Each structure stands twice: as C-alpha cells, then as structure tokens.
C-alpha cells in the first residue's frame, strides 16, 4: 500500500473513532438523567464564569473538572450497561460494581462542587 493510501486509511479510521465517541456521548446524554444534570450545571457555570469574569487559571480548573465529571459519568454509564448485559439478575458483586462506579462519579462531582464554591462564592459575596 502506498504511503498516501496508508495516511488516508489511517485518517479515515481516526475520524470514525471520533464519530463513535460522539455517538457514545449523544447516547449517554439521551439515556442518563444524571448526564443531563451535569451538562446543565456545566452550562450554568460557564455563564457564571463569563458574568463574574473568572481568571484564566479558574477557567482551566473548571474545564478540567467538567472533563473529569463528564468522563466519569460516561464510564459509569458504560459499566452499568456491561453489568446489565452480563448480570441481568440481582447479585451482590453486580451491586458492588455499580455502587463503586457511581462512587467514582461522586468523588469527582464533590471535588467540582468544592472547587466551584472556592472560585465563585467570594466573587458573589463581593457583589452583595
């Protein structure tokens, strides 16, 4: 295979991987109530960030935390689906797997909430 053909085939594969990833995000947003809530909170934080003129460092912290929470929720959704496929019945280990996966989202959501509190509360207090 020529070099150019290989480059074209590799870039088509990469584009397809992006499409599969975006399809996965869209499917999780459609099916998961918590994902909708995370996205709503993210939009509100972005609006508050512009209104309260947060600094570049604060934006970077918010962006990293948005990524952590949403990636965590996607991984949790994928784990829930795998558990539902391989264990459609009640099982102690299935319960633990789902609870631990949910716990990982909770850890990043708490970190995001604490960081949000530290960034936004002083700015809101300064307005009052």
The two tokens of residue 63 are: 């962006």
The mark string for 46-85 relative to ligand ATP (x by CB under 6 A, - otherwise) is: ----------------------------------x-----
First-to-last CA distance in the chain? 68
The mark string for 85-104 relative to ligand ATP (x by CB under 6 A, - otherwise) is: --x--xx--xx--xx--x--
Nearer to ligand ATP, 60 or 78 (CB): 78
**Which residues fall in the annotated binding site?**
20, 32, 73, 80, 98-99
Length of the chain, in residues: 128
Taking CB positions, which residue lies at the least distance from ligand ATP? Answer: 95
Rounded to a whole number of angstroms, the minimum distance from the CB of residue 117 to ligand ATP is 24
Runs of H (alpha helix) within 52-91: 56-86
Taking the CA atoms of residue 37, residue 85, residue 23 and residue 15 in that order, the dihedral angle to the nearest 10 degrees is: 140
**Which residues fall in the annotated binding site for substrate?**
73
Please name which of 71, 85, 84, 77 lies closest in space to residue 101, comparing C-alpha atoms: 77
Per the CB < 8 A criterion, the answer to whether 35 and 73 are in contact is: yes
Nearer to ligand ATP, 25 or 80 (CB): 80
Strand extents, DSSP E, the chain: none
* Stretch 102-121 residues interacting with ligand ATP (CB under 6 A): 102
Interacting residues toward ligand ATP by CB under 6 A: 32, 34, 80, 87, 90-91, 94-95, 98-99, 102
């Amino acid at each position: 295979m020529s070099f150019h053909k290989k480059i074209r085939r590799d870039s088509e594969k990469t584009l397809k991987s992006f499409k599969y990833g975006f399809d996965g995000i869209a499917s999780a947003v459609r099916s998961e109530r918590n994902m909708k809530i995370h996205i709503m909170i993210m939009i509100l934080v972005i609006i508050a960030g512009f209104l309260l003129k947060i600094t570049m460092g604060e934006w970077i912290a918010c962006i990293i935390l948005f990524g952590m929470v949403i990636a965590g929720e996607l991984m949790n959704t994928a784990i829930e689906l795998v558990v539902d496929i391989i264990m459609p019945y009640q099982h102690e280990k299935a319960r633990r797997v789902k609870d631990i996966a949910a716990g990982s989202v909770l850890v990043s959501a708490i970190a995001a909430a604490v960081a949000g509190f530290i960034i936004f509360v002083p700015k809101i207090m300064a307005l009052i």
